[in-house]
Amino acid sequence: MDEEARGRWLCAIGKHVIRFQQDDRSTYVYATLRTSQEADLLMRLRRQGRISGAKVKAFARECGIPVQELPDILRAQADAGLLGVEVDGSGRVVSVTEQIFSEDAVFRYAATRFEQRLPEQAERALIPLMDLLSRLPLDVDQTVERIIRDGFIEEDAREAIALASSFGLAQQRDVPDFNKPLLYNEYLWAHKIDRVQAVLAGLRDRDTNDLLALMEEIGQAQGTPAEALTAAPQHLVEMATRVGLVDGIKIETMSGREKTFTFSAQFDGLGAGRVNPELAGISDQVKLLVASIQYGVRYSEDFRLDAPLAFMNKLVNTGTAGNATPIGRDYILVEKYGILRTVPTTGSRARFEVVKQDIVTAARDALAQGRLGNGIGSGDRTLVDQRDYTSPEAMRLRLADSAGASAVLERKHLAAIRESVQNGSWL
């Protein structure tokens, strides 16, 4: 795990355990908690320019940092080149000038600062433990075995599991008929555990290893086509999609071609945020837009759009983008789900206007963070020829054989959508 990933996990864990700050359990994760608060302070200072000492103190208090510790913290951040600190003759902080160029710089600093606080081994082991459980629920013995591979002894691995359980970062579930407890990341798997527990408990070690590698592959490249995944045999990919370990977004084209694109639980909040089932529809629509871009980059039959990220940036920043015939012809799907509307310009040309700003912004951010598979930003031109979309839940229920969509009905449906837009309404 690189320093940026370690820093991200430290921040994620710290945000969770801060509510236990007045509990004696917090002493077991002091290095994580204080490092997370420092990173929070840096995130607040980022892009603030020159800030008065009084404002820095206010920010520190909001982050839970005692002002008595602030001078030492600012000194460490200045030594790391993230801040310029001006003090008066008495040592009082007069102002701070931020020099934070990226969030990744904050995460790298957090990883270094964590080690400077000399955490105990069990606290160190929390980081690979949470990363591991974000990929896949595992039985306790499998979890311990993999933490040991990261250089920890069994005692520290089991203490890390106890810490995670005591803070609610991880949960255990006894699986009937298998006589083994399953350990899972509460943030990412709580809403799926009933559906996947029996499948996971019955896996052989080799299949478990393949699935872990698969989840790692998808986590590093969200939106990868299912057929392009190489970390696990195809039957495991299909099983993972069917039971919900992997979310599969399927796009079909007017010419009858179809491709499935894969997303892991880490897609939401990059593995740090609690999954809210009420937001599943929003998440699915973000994945849909991402999958649409991926389809166009990899599989589009004719016309392709230059620089997808630049195109998405224009949509986010101006609310409109494009002036081309394929926009009015091929992007049926994003209209059907009310993400974008199509507006005629001249002749057969059309442009996009943003309807759901939050969906478009989230999809753009996923592109910008480089969380997608190879091909995005490669300079290929893409416009997606789309007809239909199946959500992850519907994918799991879909029968092997189904009737094809009617092109006539699709055109009538699209005409109705566009008529309502032109009349000034959007439902």
211: in domain: no
Cα separation of 276 and 287, whole Å? Answer: 16
On the question of pLDDT at 288 being above 60, the answer is yes
Do 329 and 289 form a contact (C-beta atoms < 8 A)?
A: no
Give me the mean pLDDT over the 185-213 stretch.
Answer: 77
Q: Which pLDDT tens digit goes with each residue over 170-194?
A: 888 887 766 778 888 766 676 677 7
Q: Are residues 46 and 133 in the same domain?
A: no
On the question of pLDDT at 118 being above 90, the answer is yes
Q: Are residues 188 and 235 in the same domain?
A: no
b/e for 252-265, b at 16 or more Cβ within 10 A? bbbeeeebbbbbbb
Q: Are residues 278 and 395 in the same domain?
A: yes
Q: Which residue has the higher pLDDT, 331 or 28?
A: 28
212: in domain: no
* Residue 185: per-residue pLDDT: 76
* Residue 285: per-residue pLDDT: 78
On the question of pLDDT at 281 being above 70, the answer is no
Q: Are residues 150 and 247 in the same domain?
A: no
Q: Are residues 249 and 191 in the same domain?
A: no
On the question of pLDDT at 280 being above 80, the answer is no
Domain boundary among 85, 119, 153: 119
309: in domain: yes
Cα separation of 238 and 233, whole Å? Answer: 9
Give me the mean pLDDT over the 189-205 stretch.
Answer: 74
Domain boundary among 119, 154, 189: 119
Q: Which residue has the higher pLDDT, 270 or 170?
A: 170
On the question of pLDDT at 160 being above 90, the answer is yes
- Split at pLDDT 50, 70, 90, the class of 332 is low
Q: Are residues 289 and 392 in the same domain?
A: yes
CA distances from 281 to 29, 165, 267 (A): 35, 30, 14
Q: Which pLDDT tens digit goes with each residue over 347-362?
A: 888 888 998 888 888 8
Give me the mean pLDDT over the 122-138 stretch.
Answer: 90
On the question of pLDDT at 109 being above 90, the answer is yes
Containing structural domain, residue 15: 3-119
Q: Are residues 247 and 332 in the same domain?
A: yes
Sheet architecture: strand order including 388-390: 224-225, 258-263, 247-252, 388-390
Beta strands in 21-163 (DSSP E): 50-52, 83-87, 93-98, 138-139
Q: Are residues 295 and 375 in the same domain?
A: yes
216: in domain: no
Closest CA to 336 of 421, 243, 248, 231: 421
**Element holding 220 (H helix, E strand):** helix 205-220
Do 10 and 36 form a contact (C-beta atoms < 8 A)?
A: yes
Which range (59-63, 160-164, 297-301, 382-386) has the least confidence? 382-386
On the question of pLDDT at 202 being above 80, the answer is no
Report how many domains make up the chain.
3
On the question of pLDDT at 399 being above 80, the answer is no
* Residue 398: per-residue pLDDT: 39
- Split at pLDDT 50, 70, 90, the class of 207 is confident
CATH classification at residue 127: 1.10.10.10
Which range (1-5, 115-119, 420-424) has the least confidence? 420-424
Give me the mean pLDDT over the 228-237 stretch.
Answer: 88
* Residue 187: per-residue pLDDT: 62
Give me the mean pLDDT over the 274-301 stretch.
Answer: 65
Do 56 and 74 form a contact (C-beta atoms < 8 A)?
A: yes
On the question of pLDDT at 271 being above 70, the answer is no
Q: Are residues 394 and 257 in the same domain?
A: yes
Q: Are residues 243 and 342 in the same domain?
A: yes
Helix (H, G, I), strand (E, B) or coil at 210: helix
285: in domain: yes
- Kindly give, in sequence order, each residue whose CB lies less than 8 Å from that of residue 43, ignoring residues fewer than 6 positions away: 103, 106
Cα separation of 122 and 129, whole Å? Answer: 10
Give me the mean pLDDT over the 68-72 stretch.
Answer: 91
Q: Which pLDDT tens digit goes with each residue over 361-396?
A: 888 877 676 544 433 333 333 333 333 444 444 433
* Residue 348: per-residue pLDDT: 80
* Residue 384: per-residue pLDDT: 33
Q: Are residues 23 and 127 in the same domain?
A: no
DSSP state of 150: T
* Residue 417: per-residue pLDDT: 59
On the question of pLDDT at 278 being above 70, the answer is no
Beta strands in 302-400 (DSSP E): 320-324, 340-344, 350-354, 388-390
- Split at pLDDT 50, 70, 90, the class of 414 is low
* Residue 341: per-residue pLDDT: 84
Q: How many CB atoms lie within 10 A of CB 386?
A: 22
Q: Which residue has the higher pLDDT, 400 or 155?
A: 155
Q: Are residues 398 and 280 in the same domain?
A: yes
Domain boundary among 95, 119, 143: 119
On the question of pLDDT at 233 being above 70, the answer is yes
* Residue 392: per-residue pLDDT: 45
Q: Which pLDDT tens digit goes with each residue over 3-18?
A: 888 888 888 788 778 8
Do 228 and 372 form a contact (C-beta atoms < 8 A)?
A: no
Beta strands in 108-205 (DSSP E): 138-139, 170-175, 180-185
Mean pLDDT of the chain: 77
Token pair, residue 340, equals 């974008």
289: in domain: yes
- Split at pLDDT 50, 70, 90, the class of 254 is low
208: in domain: no
